[in-house]
Amino acid sequence: MSVSKEGIESIVQKAQEAFVAISKISLAKRVAFMRNVASEIEALGPELISTAQQESSLPEGRLVGEKGRTIFQWRSYADAVERGDSLDISIDTANAERTPPKPDIRKTNVGLGPVTVFGASNFPFAFSTAGGDTAGAIAAGCSVIVKAHPGHPKTSQIMADAILSAVAKSDFPEGTFSHVFCETNEEAQLLVSNPLIKAVGFTGSYRGGKALMDVAASRPEPIPVYAEMGSVNPVFILPAKLKDSAVELAKQYVGSLTLGVGQFCTNPGLAIGVQSPELDEFIATFQAEIEKAIPAPMLNAGIAKAYVSNKEKLVSQSGVDVAAVAVAEAAEGCGAPTVATALGVDFLINDALQEEVFGPFALIVKCKDEAEMLAVTEKLHGQLTATLLATGEDLAANAELVSTIQSKCGRIIFNNFPTGVEVCKAMHHGGPFPSSSNVKFTSVGSDSIKRFVRPLSFQNWPDEFLPEELKTSNPLGIWRTVNNELTKAAVAN
């Protein structure tokens, strides 16, 4: 059910009141709340999986795994809060003997305020209502308003009910979490333009993310939009590796490309190599594997229609040849795996060739030599990932290429494929614009909490009135940087 402008204003006001209340709640209680959310999701029965299957066409095994991932996100982020990771504590003690005297300064991170999260289509659990953006914002000490994704409304409501149950059981304030259905873009934009909203989390298309960024930037008080957007995730196939295993690499590539009907933000939609007999062998194997691939249902009719439209637009470009399409007929709503080829010279003069086609589609760019391969790399837009299929010999011989690739992506992968995104502190799931709106931040892993905090320094404050994490005795037992040394010890008097 849609919500009116007045209804949105009321929801945001309650979120603001909840945020003020949350700022006075102990970290330990916040950690317990997050663990309660995980337990509530874990306790959800078969209805969750069957509902998500009906709404998304995703298979049971994939959804069971994604449910586990979502539970792990909440628990691992809670662990990070308990460790004080996202607080990034720094303490510099006073020195009265210095001229002028040095004050006592102690810095922590605090929540930004109410956060709007836009649910994603392709991960109904892990990147949607109860996904990483929601978990990260709650971990930061923020209240959250989720705009439910229209592709899986019943699934979203089940997850929202689980979070609301945890809110009640944890004795957190009303307004800590809200769940909103919007029917128009104008309604959704109110969740960005309202002056009480302090940040936005988004996973989806470039068009959608950029629209939210523009709304946020035009406010009297601009706010950050942490948007993860389109990426073609280029794969660079270097000569020595290609000589060793052209057939094997092509089969592995197609497996990654068609996984989940290509509906991952890290789907490898672009391959780049230098023309050679080995590249011809790679392409021939790729074609054969694509032809054998079975079309499968996409997330919804809109995404299936967009896949066909975007694919047709790209393959109609000058210099692009369709190399292979799955032989089995694609029923309505299904995505037919497809591979096309283009020369490096055509790629260099046509930006349309690096547009994302969300689905099981790949473009193979054939460069005439290493210099053209480097030029193609320099032409690339920002990417979430880039993959090198290479030997040590290849890396040593292509140092400039490797350096250029690093400047284009948030995660660089060696002899593997990018479709798995591990939830861990070392993961960076973001990249240079337009793959994400802010290259400095990740949307996966406990470091994603840092998107929703701001630094606050306390100068010369009485110890009894400091936040727990800044007190001299370190009652939380967390790691802190004290006078430039990392320690769990109490601050020396």
- pLDDT of 302 reads 93
Average pLDDT, the chain: 96
- Tell me whether residue 6 is exposed, middle or buried, using C-beta atoms within 10 angstroms of its C-beta: 0 to 12, 13 to 18, 19 or more: exposed
- pLDDT of 342 reads 98
- Tell me whether residue 117 is exposed, middle or buried, using C-beta atoms within 10 angstroms of its C-beta: 0 to 12, 13 to 18, 19 or more: buried
With both helix axes pointing from N to C terminus, report the angle between 46-56 and 60-83 in degrees, rounded to the nearest 10: 120
The answer for residues whose C-beta is within 8 angstroms of residue 387's C-beta and 6 or more apart is: 233, 234, 235, 236, 268, 412, 413, 414, 416, 417, 418
Active site residues: 228, 265
Chain center to CA of 248: 30
Token duo for residue 421: 């995104």
Instruction: State the Cα angle at 193 between 187 and 195, rounded to 5°.
Output: 130
DSSP codes, 149-171: -TTSHHHHHHHHHHHHHHHHHTT
Instruction: State the Cα angle at 198 between 193 and 201, rounded to 5°.
Output: 85
**Rounded-to-integer distance, Cα 337 and Cα 263, Å:** 12
Query: Is residue 247 a contact partner of residue 285, using CB atoms and an 8 Å limit?
Result: yes
- pLDDT of 441 reads 97
Residues of the chain with pLDDT under 70: 1-2
- pLDDT of 209 reads 96
Of 265, 282, 284, 264, give the one whose Cα is nearest residue 274.
Answer: 282
Pairing of strands 177-180, 144-147: parallel
Query: Is residue 165 a contact partner of residue 40, using CB atoms and an 8 Å limit?
Result: yes
Reduce the DSSP state of residue 122 to 3 states and report it.
Answer: coil
Pairing of strands 338-343, 321-325: antiparallel
Of 65, 124, 419, 67, give the one whose Cα is nearest residue 299.
Answer: 124
H or E element that contains 177: strand 177-180
Chain center to CA of 315: 28
Pairing of strands 361-367, 270-274: parallel
**Rounded-to-integer distance, Cα 479 and Cα 89, Å:** 8
Q: Write the DSSP symbol of residue 330.
A: P
**Cβ neighbours, 10 Å, residue 248:** 11
Of 152, 156, 154, give the one whose Cα is nearest residue 134.
Answer: 156
The answer for residues whose C-beta is within 8 angstroms of residue 17's C-beta and 6 or more apart is: 173, 175
Residue 178, φ and ψ in degrees, nearest 5: -130, 155
- pLDDT of 2 reads 66
DSSP codes, 229-275: ------EEE-HHHHHHHHHHHHHHHHHHHHGGGG-STT---EEEEE-
Reduce the DSSP state of residue 443 to 3 states and report it.
Answer: coil
Query: Is residue 269 a contact partner of residue 362, using CB atoms and an 8 Å limit?
Result: yes
394 phi-psi bin (left φ>0, alpha ψ -120 to 50, beta other): alpha
**Rounded-to-integer distance, Cα 231 and Cα 42, Å:** 32
Q: Record the pTM.
A: 0.95
Q: In what order do the strands lie in the sheet with 480-482?
A: 453-459, 105-111, 90-92, 480-482, 485-487
- Tell me whether residue 32 is exposed, middle or buried, using C-beta atoms within 10 angstroms of its C-beta: 0 to 12, 13 to 18, 19 or more: middle
Strand partners, 365: 272, 342
**Rounded-to-integer distance, Cα 377 and Cα 405, Å:** 7
Residue 76, φ and ψ in degrees, nearest 5: -70, -35
